[in-house]
Structure 1
Amino acid sequence: MVDHTDEFYFDKGKVDQIKPLMSDVNDVELIFKALADPTRLKIAYALTLTEELCVNDVAHIIDATTATASHHLRLLRHMKLAKYRKEGKVVFYSLDDDHVRQLVYIAMVHAKEGE
Structure 2
Amino acid sequence: MSKVLKNDHTEETLFEVAEFFKVLGDPTRIKIVSALFENGELCVNDIVNLVDVSRTAVSHQLRILKDKRIISYRKEGQMKFYHLDDAHVEVIVLLTITHLSHH
TM-score band, normalised by shorter chain = 0.7 to 0.9
Match of 1:91 in 2: 80
Q: 1:22 Cα deviation (Å)?
A: 5.7
User: Is there any run of 5+ residues in structure 1 with no aligned partner, and where?
Assistant: 1-16
Distance of 1:90 and 1:81 partners within structure 2: 19
After TM superposition, the structure 1 = structure 2 runs for residues 20-99 of structure 1, keeping only pairs within 5 Å, are: 20-21=8-9, 23=11, 24-99=13-88
Instruction: Provide the secondary structure at the position in 1 that maps to 2:59.
Output: helix
Distance of 2:71 and 2:35 partners within structure 1: 12
Distance of 1:57 and 1:113 partners within structure 2: 32
Cα deviation per residue 1:22-54 (whole Å; 9 max; x = unaligned)?
623111111101000000011111111122111
Q: TM-score, normalised by structure 2?
A: 0.85
RMSD: 1.6
Which amino acid in structure 1 is aligned with residue 29 of structure 2?
A: R
Cα deviation per residue 1:40-77 (whole Å; 9 max; x = unaligned)?
01111111112211111111111111111111111100
Give the number of the structure whose alpha-carbon radius of gyration is greater: 1
Q: 1:113 Cα deviation (Å)?
A: 2.9
User: Is there any run of 5+ residues in structure 2 with no aligned partner, and where?
Assistant: 1-5
Which amino acid in structure 1 is aligned with residue 15 of structure 2?
A: N
- Report percent identity of matched pairs: 39
Q: TM-score, normalised by structure 1?
A: 0.76
Distance of 1:59 and 1:110 partners within structure 2: 28
Match of 1:4 in 2: none
Which amino acid in structure 2 is aligned with residue 27 of structure 1?
A: E
Higher relative contact order (CA 8 A, sep 6+): 2
Question: Which structure features the higher share of strand residues?
Answer: 1
Instruction: Provide the secondary structure at the position in 2 that maps to 1:93.
Output: strand
Distance of 1:98 and 1:111 partners within structure 2: 20
